[in-house]
């Protein structure tokens, strides 16, 4: 499974039972946390997120609504007796803040916390089965988007062909990796014995950003794009002055980037209801959904 | 009105929809916030606390479950356009932490935040109508309890007597302050013209503490005492090693201190239900109630 579960979809000021930003990415056996606004650990309780399986946390930027829930989560992991390592990717000043908070409370974490500073657009994790990259977005302070990529799976066995050519089951793993089958001086080409697997999938998270067409390149062809949509058209000026986007701008990026599907969030507390966010986006990009809290969007 | 509204009654690890510590004291027109665990601003939304009327916040100690909601609240005040001063009473390292958090997010608060370091047992606020004092409690790190005292009200006018002696209404304010009435060389004593008002009331908040009989002196005769009760008797050993109290110990302090009423909170997440906290306390001090979230306890 590859999907994203929304834990918080509001901008800075919590309102109307909407919470500050947090999302959990599920990629096969891995869980990743993307931003961690105040109350994220309670939202995890509410939506039954298996938090112990999260080993990597990504913080896009140091506005409080994207990380004020992190010290609590880190402390709670300690109280829950976590022993396995936790990797944190965030702008560097966060390390100092967390260090101070742990020190004044005389807290010794029972697990190792690895801090990775976000400084350049780079590959953050390059695993056998997935990768995570950072890309720069345009906000009032240093801010990062993230791309989660499922790696191209190995090829699938063509059982009809392997039976025909008597390929032993023990050789299947090597076939999946692309090897030809050589037997009695005969070479059976890999392409005969296997079939291509489904293409890799990609999730892109735009964090908080001013509208910029250049972002469409970064998230090009994503299966699912989350783009912030803090305001409606009526507050386009405010979007510019606060380095945020409107719903229509999020949809424009989705269209330019040729993504399959768009989800929008980070709604301003100015708006009690969200219907207009959806309608303004859909005028430009039809396959848009609101990033509603508790909802899981499959990346297909 | 003099009362306390519970916003969070759990210990460090949020569970069973119980939240970390926070309470709002209402004293006539004033609201005070006592501790500010993660999610306090959302609890304020839920229980319709008029947060703009809070001008004084008291943080007992720097374990995260007592202050991780503060950066968010302070930032939200800014977003809500607060302009009037906010006074914060807390252990001194918090000033540095908050300063860093505001600085890395490039946040300029539109109001003045006054930081008052808790360093000694002292009178923190000495207003005409109320006072707030700090007292030291016994925890793993520096930790403070607080006493809120309504000041003795002026005397009440005895209308029968003032009519009899023809005291003009303009003189009533001076009568309330204790002056005698002098008219044509006759002195009418204040005691004839006024009646004593109801006695002053007192609320005491014990914060997080190891059981210590010495605390009974500090909170002696309180109308309402909040005392932490993290564990039941079954975990008395753990209470000692973690510098916390059991429900029975909280009740013992209430009894020794001759308080009118006890509320208990800061329940460990080990316990899903709270009934036994109440029964273990009531065996020792009958007038005990659970500090349930959303509930307001009048101080009478």
Strands B130-136 and B123-126, bridge-based pairing: antiparallel
pLDDT band at B214 (very low <50, low <70, confident <90, very high): very high
**Buried b vs exposed e over A59-96: b needs ≥16 C-beta within 10 Å?**
bbbbbbbbbbbbbbbbbbbbeeebeeebbbbbbebbee
- pLDDT computed for residue B183 by the predictor: 84
- Window 66-85 of A, Cβ < 8 Å to B: 68-69, 71-72, 75-76, 79-80
Q: Using the beta-carbon criterion (under 8 Å), do B68 and A63 form an inter-chain contact? A: no
- pLDDT computed for residue A199 by the predictor: 78
Query: Is B118 within 8 Å of B2 (Cβ atoms)?
Result: no
Closest CA of chain A from B208, distance in Å: 13
- pLDDT computed for residue B200 by the predictor: 87
- At CB < 8 A and 24+ separation, what contacts does B123-129 make? B124/B58, B124/B89, B125/B56, B127/B151, B129/B27, B129/B28
pTM recorded for the entire structure: 0.89
Rounded mean pLDDT of B225-231?
A: 98
**Buried b vs exposed e over A205-238: b needs ≥16 C-beta within 10 Å?**
bbbbbbbbeebbebbeebbbbbbbbbbbeebeee
Q: Using the beta-carbon criterion (under 8 Å), do B64 and A100 form an inter-chain contact? A: no
- pLDDT computed for residue B194 by the predictor: 93
Euclidean distance between CA atoms B249 and A267, whole angstroms = 47
Q: Using the beta-carbon criterion (under 8 Å), do B13 and A80 form an inter-chain contact? A: yes
Probe site for chain A from B60, B99, B104, B108 (most A CB atoms < 10 A): B104
Q: Is B158 exposed, middle or buried (0-12, 13-18, 19+ CB in 10 A)?
A: middle
B256-294 pLDDT, tens digit per residue, is: 999 999 999 999 999 999 999 999 999 999 999 999 999
What are the Cα distances from residue A16, in Å, to A271, B78, B199?
9, 19, 42
Q: Using the beta-carbon criterion (under 8 Å), do B97 and A100 form an inter-chain contact? A: yes
- pLDDT computed for residue A245 by the predictor: 98
Euclidean distance between CA atoms B181 and A170, whole angstroms = 110
Euclidean distance between CA atoms A97 and B294, whole angstroms = 32
- pLDDT computed for residue A177 by the predictor: 84
Which candidate, B278, B83, B291, places its Cα nearest to that of B205? Answer: B291
- pLDDT computed for residue A4 by the predictor: 98
Kindly give, in sequence order, each residue whose CB lies less than 8 Å from that of residue B235, ignoring residues fewer than 6 positions away.
Answer: B246, B268, B270
A28-63 pLDDT, tens digit per residue, is: 889 999 999 999 999 999 999 999 999 999 999 999
- The complex's ipTM works out to 0.88
Please provide the average confidence, as pLDDT, over all residues in chain B: 96
Q: What secondary structure does DSSP assign to B189-239, as a single string?
A: -HHHHEE--PPP-EEEE--S----THHHHHTTT-SEEEEE--B-GGGHHHH
What are the Cα distances from residue A57, in Å, to A108, A133, B205?
19, 13, 37
Euclidean distance between CA atoms B63 and B115, whole angstroms = 18
B80-92 pLDDT, tens digit per residue, is: 999 999 999 999 9
pLDDT band at B146 (very low <50, low <70, confident <90, very high): very high
What are the Cα distances from residue A38, in Å, to A42, A267, B56, B104?
9, 16, 22, 17
Q: To the nearest 5 percent, what fractions of chain A are helix, strand and coil?
A: 30, 30, 40
What is the largest distance, in Å, between two alpha-carbon atoms of chain A? Answer: 74
Point out the residues of chain A with pLDDT beneath 50: none
Residue A131 tokens, joined: 């990768």
- Phi and psi at residue B98, to the nearest 5°: -60, -40
Q: Pick the range with the lowest mean pLDDT from A233-242, B60-69, B192-201.
A: B192-201
B47-60 pLDDT, tens digit per residue, is: 999 999 999 999 99
Q: Pick the range with the lowest mean pLDDT from B160-169, B193-202, B244-253.
A: B193-202
- pLDDT computed for residue B69 by the predictor: 98
Of B38, B75, B101, the CB nearest to A39: B38
Kindly give, in sequence order, each residue whose CB lies less than 8 Å from that of residue A234, ignoring residues fewer than 6 positions away.
Answer: none
- pLDDT computed for residue B184 by the predictor: 82
pLDDT band at B154 (very low <50, low <70, confident <90, very high): confident
State the helix-helix crossing angle for B93-104 and A93-104, rounded to 10 degrees: 160
Query: Is A101 within 8 Å of B105 (Cβ atoms)?
Result: no
Euclidean distance between CA atoms B54 and B82, whole angstroms = 11
Give chain A positions within 8 Å (CB) of B97.
Answer: 97, 100-101, 104
């Amino acid at each position: 499974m590859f999907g994203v579960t929304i834990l918080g979809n509001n901008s800075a000021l919590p309102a109307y039972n909407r919470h500050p930003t947090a999302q959990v990415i599920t990629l096969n056996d891995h869980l990743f946390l993307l931003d961690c606004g105040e109350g994220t650990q309670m939202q995890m309780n509410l939506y039954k997120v298996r938090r112990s399986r999260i080993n990597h946390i990504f913080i896009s930027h140091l506005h409080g609504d994207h990380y004020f829930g992190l010290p609590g989560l880190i402390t709670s992991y300690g109280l829950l007796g976590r022993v396995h390592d936790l990797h944190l990717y965030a702008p560097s000043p966060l390390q100092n803040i967390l260090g101070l908070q742990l020190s004044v409370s005389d807290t010794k974490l029972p697990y190792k916390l690895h801090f990775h500073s976000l400084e350049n657009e780079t590959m953050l994790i390059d695993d056998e089965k997935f990768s995570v990259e950072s890309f720069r977005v345009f906000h009032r302070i240093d801010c990062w988007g993230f791309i989660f990529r499922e790696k191209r799976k190995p090829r699938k066995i063509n059982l009809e062909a392997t039976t025909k050519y008597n390929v032993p089951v023990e050789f299947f793993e090597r076939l999946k990796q692309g090897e030809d089958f050589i037997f009695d001086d005969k070479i059976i080409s890999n392409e005969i014995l296997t079939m291509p697997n489904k293409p890799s999938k990609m999730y892109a998270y735009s964090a908080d950003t001013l509208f910029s067409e250049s972002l469409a390149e970064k998230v090009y062809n994503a299966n699912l794009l989350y783009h912030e949509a803090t305001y409606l058209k009526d507050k386009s000026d405010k979007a510019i002055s606060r380095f945020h986007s409107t719903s229509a701008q999020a949809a424009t990026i989705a269209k330019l980037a040729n993504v399959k599907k768009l989800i929008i969030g980070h709604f301003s507390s100015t708006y009690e209801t969200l219907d207009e966010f959806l309608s303004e986006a859909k005028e430009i990009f039809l396959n848009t959904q609101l990033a509603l809290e508790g909802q899981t969007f499959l990346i297909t």
